[in-house]
Amino acid sequence: MLLAPGAAWDQAARHPLGALELTLRYILPFSLIAPLASFMGMTFLDGEWSPVFGYHVRNDRIPGAVASTFLLSVISVYAIAAAFCLTARLARVRPDYRLALNIATLGALPLWASGVALVMPAGILLCLAFALHALSLYSQGAVRLLGVKEGESVFFVVFSLVFMAIASFILGATASNLGLT
């Protein structure tokens, strides 16, 4: 996906993977990279490092921060795929969760791999650069797997992600109001 995304998307279009295979081969292992790097940084570079320049997580809260980062990474892939399906009709394409999950998973691979840089707080800059790359990959995947028109793919991806963010905000606020968080 990093060096030859066109060929990788063509392969994914010919042989899309199922949800279980994506989960076991990509989602779970790659979702561990950032939390483990963060754990190493917080543990070995001092969990209560300067709040101005780095980590400011009390040592007793590091495991919870690591676990929540992992869970949010996993959940976000499924949520992005759901958002792609929910907005597919706007792009006049047939929603297909399996293909959408392939796009959400494979498009995130470089971003997940960049999570290794989170050993140091400044590594977030590398992650941000790869997040932009993920947007480009999602756009290419939407064209090649879902059949979104090339001129509409960026709007499709951005709209899907904004839709997912709004839905996440509403669900989080509702859970908070119900006392679930």
Which domain range does residue 125 map to?
Answer: 5-177
Which positions ≥6 away from 137 have C-beta within 8 Å? 1, 5, 106, 107, 108, 110
Tell whether the model's pLDDT for residue 17 goes beyond 90: yes
Lowest mean pLDDT among 26-30, 67-71, 95-99, 102-106: 67-71
| Distance, CA of 161 to chain centre | 10
pTM: 0.84
Give the count of domains, the chain.
1
Q: What percent of the chain stands above pLDDT 70?
A: 88
Counting beta carbons within 10 angstroms of the beta carbon of residue 43, is it exposed (0 to 12), middle (13 to 18) or buried (19 or more)? Answer: middle
**Count of H helices and E strands in the chain?**
8, 0
Give the model's pLDDT for residue 104: 95
Question: 77 vs 13, 23, 27, CA distance in Å?
Answer: 18, 10, 8
Confidence of residue 181 (pLDDT cuts 50, 70, 90): low
Distance, CA of 111 to CA of 115 (rounded, Å): 7
**Amino acid identity of 17?**
L
Tell whether the model's pLDDT for residue 159 goes beyond 60: yes
Confidence of residue 171 (pLDDT cuts 50, 70, 90): confident
Mean pLDDT confidence for 11-18? 93
State residue 45 phi and psi, 5-degree precision: -105, 15
Tell me the pLDDT tens digit for each residue of 40-76: 877 776 655 555 655 567 778 788 888 988 998 999 9
Give the model's pLDDT for residue 49: 52
Tell me the pLDDT tens digit for each residue of 138-148: 999 999 999 99
Q: Are the beta carbons of 113 and 30 closer than 8 angstroms?
A: yes
Give the model's pLDDT for residue 180: 66
Give the model's pLDDT for residue 139: 95
